């Protein structure tokens, strides 16, 4: 079913229609959203490079990973980046999202893909203009379109209101030179109305759910270890596609994180991303500034996620008990 989604993004939008939009949704109970996002990104890049997509270029907005991570991902999946300047642009909102590094003398990391640095992720109007400029810089004056990928809409919602982000996505979809847009959402970090609004704006929805729903979450630890281990190996991949006649097609499939089509060599490199997924349990909703370690540097971040601190802390502790190797990742 993932291939159906990739083909829909490849085909783009008909004349006079809004761009195709995909929401990839996961949670801490089945944190495989980044793997699905990376698979879709890789497939669409292959289509563009082979000239089989309506899009002739791709603009990637990085909020949760560095541009070099995606350069390595594409290389690992056999995509040649020598000609990436002809079809790929990266808007780096990860390295210095709030412009703090202007006050600290430091050198920015280099990457093998063409990237532009964004120093104010709160200014969505400027961010939108940057996306259009990058896309136009690739396709030029030709009458063709480009695709847009956002690796974490949850990161964007840290700094902007839901209404601002909804307007931002709506402007992307309605732009005449954009063929498709897709983004990743960590559902458990937001209120249900936020998730519902993003789903409503999407023409496609891919949801990764745990194979087994525990009655009391992860609290009954000793009894539920086998079931929880299963959730970290396999999950339910549910898709919903809105047809042009207004009907919705729902498909439910089972996928394995190790053996399915979604699995690629990015799984091992996603350990650092999984670490951040688990760390979300320790940094829930609050209106005060928390400091936490990221790449051995203490960076202040304001988090506005409406979650329960104690419950998510217990979840993290239990996951570390189920899989002791996570301790080496986190500590």
Domain positions in the chain:
2-266
First and final C-alpha spacing in the chain: 37
What lies within 8 Å, CB to CB, of 156 at 6+ separation is: 63, 121, 150, 165, 168
Secondary structure (3-state) at 281: helix
Q: What is the pLDDT of residue 268?
A: 38
Res. 214 pLDDT band, cuts 50 70 90: low
Q: What is the pLDDT of residue 326?
A: 54
Res. 92 pLDDT band, cuts 50 70 90: very high
Res. 204 pLDDT band, cuts 50 70 90: very high
Helix ranges (H only) for the chain are 2-11, 33-49, 67-76, 124-139, 153-159, 162-174, 192-201, 225-231, 266-269, 271-279, 309-322, 325-330
Q: What is the pLDDT of residue 219?
A: 45
Please check whether residue 208 is in contact with residue 220, taking contact to mean a CB–CB distance below 8 angstroms.
no
Where residue 99 falls (left for φ over 0; alpha for ψ -120 to 50; beta otherwise) is left
Q: What is the pLDDT of residue 321?
A: 62
Q: What is the pLDDT of residue 83?
A: 87
Residue with tokens 């990739």: 6
Look at 122-126, 158-162, 218-222 and tell me which has the smallest mean pLDDT.
218-222
Q: Give the mean pLDDT of 187-194.
A: 91
Return the biggest CA–CA distance within the chain.
62
pLDDT at 67 over 80: yes
Look at 176-180, 291-295, 327-331 and tell me which has the smallest mean pLDDT.
291-295
Look at 5-9, 66-70, 247-251 and tell me which has the smallest mean pLDDT.
247-251
Q: Give the mean pLDDT of 35-47.
A: 94
Of the candidates 113, 114, 186, 116, which has an alpha carbon nearest to the alpha carbon of residue 151?
186
Q: Give the mean pLDDT of 108-129.
A: 86
Q: What is the pLDDT of residue 264?
A: 37
Q: Give the mean pLDDT of 98-122.
A: 78
Q: Give the mean pLDDT of 255-272.
A: 42
pLDDT digits (tens, 9 = 90+) for 274-293: 544 444 444 333 333 333 33
Q: Which residues pair with 27 in a beta bridge?
A: 30
**Would you say how long the chain is, in residues?**
331
- Quote the CATH superfamily of domain 2-266: P-loop containing nucleotide triphosphate hydrolases (3.40.50.300)
pLDDT digits (tens, 9 = 90+) for 124-152: 999 999 999 999 989 888 888 999 999 99
Cα R_g (the chain), whole angstroms: 19
CA distances from residue 69 to 64, 258, 325 in whole angstroms, order as listed: 10, 20, 22
Look at 115-129, 140-154, 189-203, 232-246 and tell me which has the smallest mean pLDDT.
232-246
Q: What is the pLDDT of residue 235?
A: 74
pLDDT digits (tens, 9 = 90+) for 4-25: 889 999 998 888 789 999 999 9
Q: What is the pLDDT of residue 14?
A: 81
Q: What is the pLDDT of residue 22?
A: 95
Q: What is the pLDDT of residue 309?
A: 43
């Amino acid at each position: 079913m993932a291939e159906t989604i990739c083909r829909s993004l490849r085909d783009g939008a008909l004349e006079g229609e809004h761009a195709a939009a995909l929401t990839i949704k996961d949670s801490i109970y089945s944190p495989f959203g980044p793997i699905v996002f990376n698979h879709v990104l890789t497939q669409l890049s292959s289509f563009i490079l082979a000239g089989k997509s309506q899009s002739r270029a791709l603009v990637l907005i990085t909020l949760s990973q560095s541009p070099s991570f995606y350069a390595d991902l594409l290389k690992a999946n056999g995509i040649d980046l020598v000609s990436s300047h002809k079809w790929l642009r990266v808007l780096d909102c990860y390295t210095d999202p709030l412009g703090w590094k202007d006050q600290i003398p430091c050198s920015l990391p280099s990457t093998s893909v063409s990237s532009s640095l964004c120093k104010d992720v709160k200014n969505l109007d400027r961010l939108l203009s940057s996306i259009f400029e990058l896309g136009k810089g690739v396709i030029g004056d030709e009458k063709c379109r480009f695709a847009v990928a956002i690796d974490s809409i949850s990161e964007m919602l840290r700094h902007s209101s839901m209404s601002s982000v909804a307007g931002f996505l709506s402007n992307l979809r309605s732009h005449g030179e954009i063929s498709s847009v897709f983004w990743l959402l960590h559902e458990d970090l937001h209120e249900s109305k936020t998730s519902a609004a993003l789903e409503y704006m999407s023409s496609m929805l891919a949801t990764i759910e745990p194979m087994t729903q525990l009655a009391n979450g992860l609290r009954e630890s000793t009894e539920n270890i086998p079931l929880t281990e299963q959730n970290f190996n396999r999950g339910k991949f549910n898709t919903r596609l809105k047809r042009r006649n207004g009907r919705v097609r729902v498909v439910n499939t089972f996928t394995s994180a190790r053996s399915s089509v979604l699995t690629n060599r990015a799984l091992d490199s996603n350990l650092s991303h999984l670490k951040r997924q688990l760390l979300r349990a320790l940094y829930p909703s609050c209106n005060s500034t928390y400091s936490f370690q990221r790449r051995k540097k203490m960076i202040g971040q304001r988090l506005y996620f409406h979650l329960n601190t104690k419950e998510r802390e217990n979840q993290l502790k239990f996951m570390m008990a189920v899989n002791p190797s996570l301790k080496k990742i986190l500590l």
